[in-house]
Chain A
Amino acid sequence: MRISSRRLGVYAVALAFAIVMNFILPRLMPGSPVDAMIAQLGPRATPAAVEAIKARFGAVDQPMLWQFVDYVKGLATLDLGVSVKYYPQTVVQVLGRSTLWTAFLVSTAIIFSLCVGVVLGAISAWRRGGRFDTIVSPLSVIMISVPPVIVALTTLFVFAVSLRWFPVGYAYDPNLDPAFNFTFAGSVFMHAILPVLTLSPFLIGEFQTTMRSSMISVLGEDYVTMARAKGLSHLTVMFGYGARNAMLPVLTNLALMLGAVFGGSIVTEIVFNYPGLGLTLYTASIARDYPVIQGQLLLMTLATLGANFLVDIIYGLVDPRLREAV
């Protein structure tokens, strides 16, 4: 399969833009990492110590152009620098441990919501205008519009703080060491339930809505009428003929929603003290940890661009008419 060179050009420009923005944005924030480090010295910051720290993290006092050259050089060698906040850990180390947890959280939430949302969407389209549809569809609109922070705080307060059914923080019981056994897996599962439930309403709502409209148009197709005429069972027609063919727009929508899911996971991770990218980005922003912020924004940009690229490929595979056009 081929993707047009124009399309690839668009990706290149988007990537370059992201890299430049990534460089500029943290520098627009007031305060520098060196200031932050010196601030921690407090009254003990002798002029000599201040000079020594500045020299050590000298890059920040260099002219912008040289900083940019250093930054691009670093990117090329996958050297994203050293974290200021978690000094002397490198950015790759810091992001490495958090990426795993966010990926786990986000993919679990997506798979869970996809299953629930698609089934709900299919049923409400099948029984369009029925009692199920009139309850579920407006509910989806509500679920899409409630901000994740409200869902997070509510679930935390109700299920963790008040009822104490679930832990209030961490990715697993701090008393356990990571290992491949049931105790540890169970702990990870229990700690993931509330964060996943927090991320899900928005996703379920989105999937339900997309699935419903896509399914409705599919149900009008001749082959569905044909299947019904053959006397196949409702379930077979609904899922085998309808839902299967209505799924594609849902998958497309998923790729486009990745950004929003990451956004939701930032809030969720902060509220549940979940050690993922969101919490890392938050603490890095407060500490003016430029290298970590840059590394993380870049990672997210690449993820979004990658997802869109994937969608382009899927489109091309599915619809031959799109291969040469656009």
Chain B
Amino acid sequence: MRLSKSAIRNNSMRASFAAATALTALVVFGTGGAAAESVLTMHIEEQSSWVQNFNPFDLAGRRQSTMDFIYEPLVIFNAEDGGKPVFRLATDYKFSEDMKSVTYTLRPGVKWSDGQPLTSADVKYTIDLMLKNAALDTVGVGETVASVEAPSPTEVRIDLKAVNSDFPETLADLAVVPEHIWKDVSDPVAFKNEKPVGSGPMTELRRFTPHVYEQCRNPNYWDAASLHVDCLRLPQISGNDQMLAILPEGNMDWIGSFIPQIDKTFVALDPDHNGYWQPPAETVAFQMNFKSGNEGNLEAYKDLNFRHAFSLAMDRASMVDIAGFGYPVVNEHATGLPPRFETWRNKGAEGDKDAFMGFDTEKANKILDDAGYKKGADGFRTTPSGKPLAFPIIVPNGWTDWIDAVQIAVEGLRAAGINASVATPEYEQWRKQIIDGSFEVVMNSRADGATPFRGYYQSLSTAYGGRITGAPSRYSNPKLDALFDQYLKATSEYDHKKIFNDIQLLIADDFPVVPVFNGPTWYQFSSKRFTGWVTDKDPVMNPEDHDNNRMRLMHLLRLKPVQ
């Protein structure tokens, strides 16, 4: 449905959300006069009913269009561009000499959607709110931040608990909220924020029903000149199957869905306009529990020979083609570096170090034979010290593509005489097991970030071991921890790259986890109503519209309605 009403820009007119709704008034910038409204229909989350909740601190309950579109980040880091910063509410940030504090300079003249100025006091207020109330701490400032000061209206100084050059990247997930609204909220955890006042491009809720909602232009958006979409329209969609059923209607513009046989079921519906690009995302790897209570298994996990043999038993190509519908890509590097971080790759950590990344059952058997893993009467091996070796690999129930991949892994392991099996607990149970350490082996995606550092740090440092789902292996290596520490203290890009080269070398040699493939990004689009989509020919940013990708804001600003 397109409306072709227009209205003159008039601040007093958007005195309230109710008035805006009643008038369905559009605020047309720039050219003035009558212009067709451009409404972008998006699919970013699946729910059986929309609940009007735009509380940015409620990660579980908030609508997934809250970040970026209602609350703009200070700065975004573009993984597809070497992790370079894209400054938004801030124009710069600087570390102090001792790296113990970082000062952000805010963009002058930025206003909230209700017309009030956005100042450093708002940023200070937001971080203090999270420090005071741990349930609101969506970015983990409680662990990293000692205190916040606002020396001037455009300056925020954040004092850190420890040296941490990675801190700005973490803070990209911060939603700065307006102090003049939130100071009156009695219970910020339960606050639904039904009529949000924000800083992003799409703050005005014109329509909200359990079936669909529309988020329209912020009348005071600082970067209005770059914004060509008037409204986001979000129809409620309950799951992948329903998505398949509604695709033929041709009403969706920006989609982030798993679509099986995508060329047949989506592109063929409208070959001139429908497209997709599903670049490889974070690395999926087999992670063994280095604190396992099972003596035999633990002995094997800690043996580099065993980990090499494990890797040689992995039929990665089948995992990608058969289990993953061909959407993921095989990860060929012992470092497990995701393809998107090509510029960070240390060639010295590859070549012969990748010798164990192929599929070679014969070689796997030989390595195990030579290392003293003897086969018993049942055809399964025991450890060199004669202890039994048997473990289940856990994967969440219902994740069919992953279950199939683990099944393929188990076949390979059994062919090498390793008694592995598949177990499919419910997701919550699966998560609990990897957090409390009551598992043996898990196939899991590792942590990810705008630079490869965060993924490695959070998956393999002693600091994170066992604390988050991305780090179940409980791997602990003082040499690696020292490198991580150096990285956090380093300031220049040159130093970061140099240290990360060493990290890659160490990982390739010690091979703590077994990388197998990189899962796809979920991104499909229609160019029928909008142009400017990011494609493989112009791979400048992560194209996903989900809440895990801050760059979706920059993507929105690229889009232009078809004339």
A35 touches B134 (CB 8 A): no
A selection of 27 A-B contacts at a CB cut-off of 8 Å is A30-B429, A31-B426, A31-B428, A31-B429, A31-B432, A32-B428, A35-B432, A36-B428, A42-B470, A44-B59, A44-B138, A44-B139, A46-B134, A49-B134, A49-B135, A49-B138, A51-B134, A52-B137, A87-B53, A88-B192, A89-B51, A168-B242, A170-B211, A170-B236, A175-B212, A178-B209, A273-B236
A53 touches B48 (CB 8 A): no
| Known A40-B59, A175-B1: A46·B48 in contact at CB below 8 Å | no
Q: Is A37 an interface residue (CB 8 A)?
A: yes
How many of chain A's residues touch chain B, expressed as a range? 35 or more
B134 touches A52 (CB 8 A): yes
Contacts of A43 in B (CB 8 A): 447, 458, 468-470
Could you list which residues of chain A lie within 8 angstroms of chain B, going by C-beta atoms?
29-32, 35-37, 39-49, 51-53, 55-56, 84, 86-89, 97-98, 156, 160-161, 164, 168-172, 174-175, 177-178, 270, 273, 275, 279-280, 282-283, 288
Q: Is B61 an interface residue (CB 8 A)?
A: yes
When each residue 25-49 of chain B gets 1 if its CB lies under 8 Å from chain A and 0 otherwise, what string results? 0000000000000000000000111
Contacts of B210 in A (CB 8 A): 97, 275
In the bound complex, what is the Cα–Cα distance between A279 and B46 (angstroms)?
13
In the bound complex, what is the Cα–Cα distance between A56 and B61 (angstroms)?
15
How many of chain B's residues touch chain A, expressed as a range? 35 or more
Contacts of B143 in A (CB 8 A): 46, 48
A273 touches B242 (CB 8 A): yes
In the bound complex, what is the Cα–Cα distance between A98 and B49 (angstroms)?
10
Q: Is B497 an interface residue (CB 8 A)?
A: no
| Known A40-B59, A87-B58: A46·B428 in contact at CB below 8 Å | no
- CB closest chain-A residue, reference B242: A273
A168 touches B245 (CB 8 A): yes
| Known A35-B428, A42-B469, A86-B61: A280·B48 in contact at CB below 8 Å | yes
- CB closest chain-A residue, reference B130: A49
- CB closest chain-A residue, reference B135: A52
In the bound complex, what is the Cα–Cα distance between A48 and B189 (angstroms)?
15
Which of the listed residues B245, B249, B470 has the most CB atoms from chain A within 10 Å of its own CB? B245
Pairs A-B, 5 closest by C-beta atoms? A31-B428, A52-B135, A174-B212, A174-B211, A48-B134
- CB closest chain-B residue, reference A88: B190
Q: Is B140 an interface residue (CB 8 A)?
A: yes
Contacts of A84 in B (CB 8 A): 60
Interchain pairs with CB closer than 8 A, number: 130
B242 touches A169 (CB 8 A): yes
Contacts of B293 in A (CB 8 A): none
Given contacts A43-B458, A87-B53, A270-B238, 6 further A-B contacts (CB under 8 A): A43-B447, A168-B249, A174-B211, A273-B242, A275-B48, A282-B48
| Known A46-B142, A161-B245: A40·B60 in contact at CB below 8 Å | yes
Q: Is B122 an interface residue (CB 8 A)?
A: no
B246 touches A42 (CB 8 A): no
In the bound complex, what is the Cα–Cα distance between A30 and B447 (angstroms)?
25
B211 touches A30 (CB 8 A): no
Q: Is B431 an interface residue (CB 8 A)?
A: yes
State how many angstroms separate the Cβ of B67 from the closest Cβ of chain A.
12
Which of the listed residues A89, A164, A170, A275 has the most CB atoms from chain B within 10 Å of its own CB? A170
| Known A46-B137, A52-B133: A86·B426 in contact at CB below 8 Å | no
In the bound complex, what is the Cα–Cα distance between A122 and B375 (angstroms)?
74
Q: Is B386 an interface residue (CB 8 A)?
A: no
- CB closest chain-B residue, reference A87: B61
B51 touches A39 (CB 8 A): no
In the bound complex, what is the Cα–Cα distance between A49 and B58 (angstroms)?
12
Contact of B48 among A174, A177, A279 (CB under 8 A): A279
State how many angstroms separate the Cβ of B462 from the closest Cβ of chain A.
16
B469 touches A169 (CB 8 A): no
Contacts of A32 in B (CB 8 A): 428
Contacts of B139 in A (CB 8 A): 44
